[in-house]
Structure 1
Amino acid sequence: MARKNVSLLVSAAGWIGSFVGELIPALRERGIQDDQIHALVTGNGLLLGKIADAIVEAIKQVKNLYTVCVDYTMRIDDLVVEGNYDWSNGDITSDHFPSSRTSKADVEIELIHLNRIISSDEAVKELDRVGLRPAKAHELLAFGAKYPEIQREFPIVALGSVWRDSDDGRRVVFLGGGGAERGASLLWFEDGWGGRCRFAAVRK
Structure 2
Amino acid sequence: MKKVDTFLFDLDGTVLDSNKLIIDAFKYVFKTKFPELILTEKEYLSFIGPTLWASFSKYEPDRKKVDELVLLYREYSDLYYDDLKAFKGAEELFKTLKEKGYKIGIVSSKMHHLVVRALEVTNLLEYVDVVVGSEDVKRHKPHPEGLLLAAKTLKSKKSLYVGDHPSDVKAGKKANMLTCGVSYSYHKDIIKEEPDFMIDGLLDLLEEKFYV
Q: TM over 0.5, yes or no?
A: no
Flag the structure with higher helix content: 2
Task: Please say which structure displays the higher CA radius of gyration.
Answer: 1
Flag the structure with higher strand content: 1
